[in-house]
Amino acid sequence: MDSGSRSTVTSKRKKEAATSVRQIKKPSHPRRSKKIDADWWKNAVVYQIYPRSFKDTNGDGIGDLEGIIQKLDYLNDGTPNSLGIDAIWLSPIYPSPMYDFGYDISDYESIDPVFGNLETFKRLLKEAHKRKIRIIMDLVANHTSHQHPWFLESKSSKDNPKRDWYIWRDPVGGKPPNNWMGTFGGRAWTLDKTTDQYYYHSFLAEQPDLNWRNPEVKKAIFSMVKNWLDLGVDGFRLDVVNLFVKDSELRSNPRKRWIARPFDQQNHIYDRDRPEMHDILKDLRKLLDSYGDRMSVGEVMMEPPGTSALPASYYGAKGDELHLAFNFAFFYTPWKAEKFRDVIKEWEKYLRDKGWPNYTLSNHDFRRHITRYSKGRETTARAKIAALMLLTLRGTPFLYYGEELGMMDERVPKNRIQDPVGIRYWPVYPSRDNCRLPMCWSGDVNGGFSKGEPWLPVFSRYESVNVETQSRSIESLLNFYKKLIWLRKGNEILKKGTLALDYDSPPGVLQYTREFEKKKCLIILNFENESKKIVANANRTAQILISTHRKPEKMEIPVVFEIAPYEGLVLEY
């Protein structure tokens, strides 16, 4: 964001501060159903919304909470005409100077005026709950904004009561205390001239890290979490959850072989994944469980190709930490049936009975999976196979707004890049803006997203890749997602069944069986553009529940039968 944009937002925030800041201090708990569904998150389909890019209602070019309220019926109106999602994960909507677009929070207990205010958020909760849609908020508790009152106090003097709420150290030989690097580039230490000490930041200098070794920090964050829970929030996505606690001695990370980005030239054993984090998560779990039906999902940072062992460890040895943790090993998998099967096998092995799997292929920080797996005219066919896999595996699927339309990344021109990482590394690194383009609602100007100039360019194919157009086409990707999600919602096998991978399927085919109470579903996914022969164990009659190529009807399965290129089908027998 340029300085002019920041000053406009700041001015607007000052005008609205009196009606928005800290109104959550005396929360009122909304009425909830007496019947508590503690495991709702296991059966849910979760939909991530990047609020800036979803729907703008006031013409400023930035999506807002009112826009999300207006589109709740699209997400789930209780009928198969809607997408049918069960929960929304909102990227940050707290007050922020927007150096990292909400991931630099200056007030944990209110709503940024650019999105609305606390009253609008309460209405969103009410309207979402009416439609049986849960709300999951982004909890960014590794760091705050440098404009947060806590940090302003902390930096004011060495003896300020909040000095130890952040990580401060003296220079060592006139240099930073250790070799730690910032994820977004440069040193992870910035010298503050007020006290002539360095403070630590995992990301931007405008995002100082909290000191989770200080019990006062934990107390303050947990109090804030409780306030949102009392308001009726259904859960939290924990940003960079494995970074909260750092090595007590701040030892330098060992180096590894040369890689282009300095950050990747270190083994990050002292600035993440510290054992003390697990006790914090156990206490958080106790707080969430005290409400009966709240949940947590954690972002566990790791480099490609990733390992399932790492996110599995954040569920806790007794399944008493996070409810879910994202497994980026699945995210990093190339378009190969065998590669996906290997990751699924490993994920199931490490979770065993202590944890529930979850799967996602896209989010706000990475290239959309439809872009990663695109291949000319085969792109939509691959998108349907990916959707079938994501929504029929054992576990909780997370979708990213617009993937149901086939929205793809597009390079944002240099003069319109907002992402600080994209600005720093242009043109080598593809900006994260590329996957945050405004949602395409119609073929109208700006894709129906805004009547003003959108904060990022609109997807160039918005005239055909939009909700309105695809809703009218039976064969569209959107309608395929709708049928698939509603099938999953009504099928206990797909929601709760065990999973058994088939290792005898032909090359290029991912095949697995889901079973629940002696009923079975067979899922067959052809990842290649050529026909495959499937060998069945025995002749049987099955019901086609959904298919990319066939009608939903009974099918006699011979011992050997053929599936078409990029065919995917779900059979119940």
Which active-site residues does the annotation give? 239, 299
Q: Identify the DSSP state of 24.
A: G
Contact 411, 375 (CB under 8 A): no
Q: Beta strand pairing status for 87-90 and 46-49? A: parallel
Who's near 142: CB < 8 A, 6+ residues apart?
202, 209, 210, 239, 240, 241, 243, 244
Who's near 79: CB < 8 A, 6+ residues apart?
none
Contact 48, 363 (CB under 8 A): yes
Who's near 466: CB < 8 A, 6+ residues apart?
405, 440, 441, 442, 443, 447, 448
- What distance in Å separates the CA atoms of residue 516 and residue 394, rounded to the nearest whole number? 11
Strand-pairing partners, residue 238, are: 139, 298
- What distance in Å separates the CA atoms of residue 421 and residue 478, rounded to the nearest whole number? 32
- What distance in Å separates the CA atoms of residue 177 and residue 180, rounded to the nearest whole number? 9
- What distance in Å separates the CA atoms of residue 110 and residue 404, rounded to the nearest whole number? 31
**123: its two tokens:** 């209405």
- What distance in Å separates the CA atoms of residue 189 and residue 195, rounded to the nearest whole number? 14
Helix boundaries (H) for 352-455: 369-372, 379-392, 420-425
Cα 50 to the center of its chain, rounded Å: 9
Nearest of 568, 567, 572, 531 to residue 555 by alpha carbon: 572
Q: Beta strand pairing status for 560-563 and 568-572? A: unpaired
**531: its two tokens:** 């026909």
CA distances from 473 to 133, 464, 470, 476 (A): 26, 11, 5, 5
Contact 133, 85 (CB under 8 A): yes
- What distance in Å separates the CA atoms of residue 516 and residue 531, rounded to the nearest whole number? 30
- What distance in Å separates the CA atoms of residue 217 and residue 221, rounded to the nearest whole number? 6
- What distance in Å separates the CA atoms of residue 453 and residue 65, rounded to the nearest whole number? 18
Helix (H) or strand (E) holding 396: strand 396-400
Task: Quickly tell me which residue has 């779900």 as its tokens.
Answer: 570
Contact 221, 281 (CB under 8 A): no
Contact 110, 21 (CB under 8 A): yes
Who's near 492: CB < 8 A, 6+ residues apart?
516, 517, 519
- What distance in Å separates the CA atoms of residue 92 and residue 354, rounded to the nearest whole number? 30
